[in-house]
Amino acid sequence: MKPVGAPASFAFEGVTGDEFFQLKAGQAVPGLSGAPLVCPTRRAVVGVVTATRDRYSDLGGWAAPISALLSGGPGVPDDLTAYGEQVAVAGAAAVLADRAGWHAVLPVDDANELVDQPWTHADIRPGTGQPSTILRPEFAVVDYLFRAEILTTVTDWCDRPERLSVRYIDAGGGTGKTRFAVEACRAQRARGWVAGLLPADDRGVDKLAMPRLLVVDYVEERDAVALAARLAALARSASPLAPVRLLLLGRPSAGALAGQALAPLAEAATGATLSALDNAVDTSTAVADLTGPQRDMLFAAGLAAFGRTWNGPGWAVPSVEVDLSDPRYGRPLDVLLEAFDAALSGPHWRSGQRPPVDRALDHEARRWYQRMPELDQRTARLCVALSTLAGARDDAEASALLDLVADATPAPSRRQIDRWLRDLYDGPDRWNPLRPDRLGEALVARLLGEHDDHGLRLLTAVLTLRSDAQVERALDVLIRLAATPAVNGIAVAALATRYADLVQRCTDQTRPTDQRMPMAVQQPAQRVRVSLLDSLGRAHTALLTADRVADLPIAVQAQLSAAGDALGVLARDHGRSADARSIFTTALSIDQRRYELEPDNTSYARDLSISYNSWPL
């Protein structure tokens, strides 16, 4: 039967002596009797409207508590209690069958502000800004193709009854992880979910009583202990009505097994979070290599979208020939970079022999030179590369990077350079990196190669910066570049040069600022930090492999062994057992090599004994 009357809002005043809810500030108009009373705090039906407060006025009213219908009690007939139980079961089933419909009854204002949704802030106008903006996956300039079926599985996964569930994607840069996550979030947001990137700062999404799809990008770079605590808070707030779905994106190092990026997080997790991680589903089919026809279709879509976005809607799509047979074009980003080059190069474009990422960098760099003509072009590249490699979050960090380019000639003022870099790329920091990440990483690799020493002095200087945050960022970028032959050797040499100092900095960072206070009562700012330890441990595993370390001078190896023992103990004591195992393995191999070279050297024998005592963990 169609209900009679209209909705009304009340303020809860209290409970009367006969246990009715007393309401005010609303109107219990005729026809409202019997209507469900929904509480915005509990987000549930808590009562049934029964009467007005005054027979001569419809202001205010009374409601019978739903608990009387569900639990019975004095004056409640047994058959009414039985009906109440049936209503409760049927109501719960109906709500779970249409969670979005139920949450639409009581929307949470600005709920999506509790997560990061960069795709909602895209401001792309023809011919303005930097060309790379139209390549960023979160801005979705090109239509999303080929993955509709796997997106449907995400919707099905979200609709499952589990309170907390995890999926992950391990894949290299440019394979489409971020774009897939963006499309999944958009689809779920359209269904009433709160969906986006899990922010580094706690904005309250951990307590939100709404269905949530949360994405963690570069999960291997997050503080595993801190992230596990966030996920535990999410698990506590998850319910059948407000489930939590986590999509974890990782970029594994060479030779890593699928899901290995989750290992540090699983070590730190407990309870429901650990159970969800143990049952995490690999969703890497979402980034499978493109087939030949798919490459051609994506190129055509990208050429039209990039050309019209950059040049204006009247731009005519040229007829071009392109060979996409190289294995690199199995990755969507490489196809899009080729289309990007064609769209920005003009009518005489020809597919070049150089990798498409290098040609895309040329387009990007031309805009730097146009926007900052006073600056030497090589210095301009250095400035953007340093912003990408280390970044700058405040005046002090920006000043430290400017010190590294102080010898540039001709040189505009530091203030001019700072203003240019502040306006260059959007993001949360003062100086933000060039994105997509593979484009920024290619710039760093190119810049290092332009130096006579292949960038060794520059990398060493960056790893000497006073800001731990800048050093952590640099280590993370070098880890991503570990598979790049032109960078790998220099990164190993720079890391080996600064290794002992970095281990000491890890020790200092993990020491509480006030050791006189118990950990339980320290404020967050006083607690230990392990972010540098995490970055250095992963850098050790990715860069200081046994083969690479064996090529270093034996004196350098000895220094690595001594500092490595200290770092391994630190990693082990802070629950980073996988990193500790890798570090101790390197130290043990060094000590074995030194002992074999001089078996009569008692110092070498003692060092080998110490390494053996540290292993196994």
Residue 408, pLDDT above cutoff 60: no
Residue 466, pLDDT above cutoff 90: yes
Which pLDDT value is given to residue 514? 52
| Residue 521 confidence class, pLDDT cut points 50, 70, 90 | very low
Mean pLDDT calculated for residue range 57-65: 78
| Residue 6 confidence class, pLDDT cut points 50, 70, 90 | low
Most confident region among 99-103, 409-413, 439-443 by mean pLDDT: 439-443
| Residue 315 confidence class, pLDDT cut points 50, 70, 90 | very high
| Residue 255 confidence class, pLDDT cut points 50, 70, 90 | low
H or E element that contains 546: helix 546-550
More confident residue, 362 or 70: 362
CB atoms within 10 A of CB 460: 16
| Residue 103 confidence class, pLDDT cut points 50, 70, 90 | confident
Q: How far is CA 124 from the centre of its chain?
A: 23
Mean pLDDT calculated for residue range 33-57: 78
Three-class HEC string of 155-218? HHHHCCCCCEEEEEEECCCCCCHHHHHHHHHHHHHCCCCEEEECCCCCCCHHHCCCCEEEEECC
List all residues 6 or more positions away from 421 whose beta carbon is below 8 Å from its beta carbon: 383, 384, 387, 392, 398, 430, 431
* Adjacent-strand bridge partners of 282: 168
Q: Which of 25-39, 351-365, 478-492 has the lowest mean pLDDT?
A: 25-39
Q: Is the peptide bond before 433 cis (omega within 30 degrees of 0)?
A: no
Q: Which of 126-140, 238-252, 507-521 has the lowest mean pLDDT?
A: 507-521
Residue 519, pLDDT above cutoff 60: no
Enter the pTM of the model: 0.86
Write the pLDDT tens digit of every residue in 134-188: 999 999 999 999 999 999 999 999 999 899 999 999 999 999 999 999 999 999 9
Residue 247, pLDDT above cutoff 50: yes
Mean pLDDT calculated for residue range 195-223: 91
- 424 vs 386: CA distance, rounded Å: 13
Query: How far is CA 473 from each of CA 15, 534, 540, 568, 616, rounded to the nearest angstrom?
Result: 57, 11, 15, 21, 31
* Adjacent-strand bridge partners of 22: 14, 62
Q: Which strand ranges, in their side-by-side order, compose the sheet holding 44-51?
A: 11-15, 21-27, 59-65, 44-51, 36-39
Q: Residue 206 corresponds to which tokens in the numbers above?
A: 């951990």
Three-class HEC string of 389-450? HCCECCHHHHHHHHHCCCCCCCCCCHHHHHHHHHHHCCCCCCECCCCCHHHHHHHHHHHHHC
Write the pLDDT tens digit of every residue in 341-360: 999 998 888 887 789 999 99
- 323 vs 279: CA distance, rounded Å: 42
- 527 vs 60: CA distance, rounded Å: 51
Residue 392, pLDDT above cutoff 90: yes
Q: Are 357 and 442 in contact (CB under 8 A)?
A: yes
- 616 vs 379: CA distance, rounded Å: 49
